[in-house]
Amino acid sequence: MSASFLRVAARGPSSFLRANLVSARPQPMAARAGLAAPILAANSFSTSARMHSEHQEETFEEFSARYEKEFDNVQDVFELQRNLNNAFAYDLVPSPSVLSAALRAARRVNDFPTAVRIFEGIKAKVENPGQYEQYLNELKPLREELGIPLKEDLYPEEPTV
């Protein structure tokens, strides 16, 4: 134990807390090293992303076109899953054309589990079972062409007693 800790502990609890608060205050690296700190040193790092004022809202058609292009350029499983995470992160359900491109990308990189999970993502994103059925009907020819079963087909739910 250091002597300074023993001195602080001997003073009593209130001075111990005050001593910790003073020593816990963050100091610039240059000040700790005993060097003169540059004026902008405290503002050189940021923990938040910069927001650009020229950012415009993207229409659903622009969103769909952008993600179709992204999925058409997918070369590996990481890119596929990253694009799927990004596409499903928005407060909307991707269009059938985007999902079709994603399913074709999953086939191209030979990622069967992700292809099945795309339909799970759709089921989680839609507002009601009727919308899910519409997506299934729209994507049924592609599902059959690529041989992608649904999770419901692979693992039918057993009725609870």
Annotated domain spans of the chain? 63-154
Render pLDDT for 16-40 as a digit per residue (tens, 0 to 9).
445 544 455 555 555 555 555 444 4
In the numeric block, the tokens 């890119």 are attached to 79
Query: Quick check: helix, strand or coil at residue 100?
Result: helix
Q: Rounded CA gap, 103 and 78, in Å?
A: 14
Predicted TM-score (pTM) of the model is: 0.63
Mean pLDDT on 120-147: 95
CATH tag, 63-154: 1.25.40.40
Render pLDDT for 47-71 as a digit per residue (tens, 0 to 9).
444 444 466 788 999 999 999 999 9
> Residue 102 has which token pair?
């994603």
CB 100 within 8 A of CB 134: no
Q: Which residue has the higher pLDDT, 36 or 138?
A: 138
Q: Rounded CA gap, 99 and 117, in Å?
A: 11
Return the pLDDT at 69: 96
> Residue 29 has which token pair?
């690296």
Q: Rounded CA gap, 130 and 159, in Å?
A: 21
